[in-house]
Amino acid sequence: MTHESILQPRTVLVTGGAGFIGSNFVRYLLAAQPDVRVVNMDCLTYAGNLENLAEVADNSRYAFVRADIRDPRACVEVCQENGVEAVVHFAAESHVDRSITGPAAFVETNVGGTLNLLQAARECGNLRFLQVGTDEVYGSLGPTGLFTETTPLDPHSPYSASKAAADHLVSAFGTTYGLPVVITRCSNNYGPYQFPEKMIPLMINNARQNKPLPVYGDGSNVRDWLYVEDHCRALWLALTKGTPGRVYNIGGNSERTNLEVVKAILRHMGKPESLISFVKDRPGHDFRYAIDASRIHRELGWSPTVDFETGLGRTIDWYLAHQPWLDHIVSGEYKKYYEAMYAGR
Which is nearest to 135 in space by CA: 185, 183, 188, 199? 185
Return the number of the residue (120 or 203) whose C-beta is nearest ligand DAU: 203
* Close Cβ partners of 288 (under 8 Å, ≥ 6 residues apart): 140, 141, 142, 143, 221, 222, 223, 255
Measured between its terminal Cα atoms, the distance across the chain in Å is 50
Cβ distance to ligand DAU smaller for residue 76 or 330 = 330
Of the CA atoms within 13 Å of residue 8, those in its CB half-sphere come to 6
CB of 136 to ligand NAD, least distance (A): 8
Interface map 162-181 toward ligand NAD (x if CB under 6 A): -x------------------
252 near ligand NAD, judged by CB under 6 A: no
Q: Choose the one of ligand DAU, ligand NAD, none that binds residue 337, judging by a C-beta under 5 to 8 angstroms depending on kind.
A: none
Site membership for ligand NAD, residue 69 (CB under 6 A): yes
Residue 221 as a binder of ligand NAD (CB under 6 A): the answer is no
Report if residue 251 touches ligand NAD, rule: CB under 6 A. no
Query: Scanning residues 104 to 163, which ones bind ligand NAD (CB under 6 A)?
Result: 109, 113, 132, 134, 163
Residues 6 or more apart whose Cβ sits within 8 Å of residue 81: none
In angstroms, give the least distance from the CB of 43 to ligand NAD.
4
Q: Does 76 bind ligand NAD (CB under 6 A)?
A: no
∠ CA 25-292-251, nearest 5°, is: 25
Site membership for ligand NAD, residue 68 (CB under 6 A): yes
Q: How many CB atoms are closer than 10 A to CB 119?
A: 16
- Closer to ligand NAD by CB, 114 or 275: give it: 114
Residue 186 touching ligand NAD (CB under 6 A): yes
Q: What residue type is assigned to position 48 of the chain?
A: G
The 3-class secondary structure across 144-161, one letter per residue, is: CCCECCCCCCCCCCHHHH
Minimum gap (Å) between residue 140 Cβ and ligand NAD: 15
Just list the catalytic residues.
Answer: 135-136, 159
Tell me, by CB under 6 A, how many residues bind ligand NAD: 29
Distance, CA of 345 to CA of 343 (rounded, Å) = 5
In the complex, residue closest to ligand DAU by CB: 134
**Is the CB of residue 103 less than 8 Å from the CB of residue 155?**
no
In the complex, the residues that contact ligand DAU under the rule CB under 6 A are 94-96, 134-136, 187-188, 198-199, 202, 214-216, 221, 223, 258, 282, 289
Sequence-distant (6+) residues with CB within 8 A of 47 are 19, 20, 94, 95, 195
- Which C-beta is closer to ligand DAU: that of 198 or that of 233? 198
Residue 167 or 299: the one with the smaller Cβ distance to ligand DAU is: 167
Helices 308-321, 258-269: axis angle to 10 degrees equals 50
Contact set with ligand NAD (CB under 6 A): 15-16, 18-22, 42-45, 47-48, 68-70, 90-92, 94, 109, 113, 132, 134, 163, 186, 188-189, 195
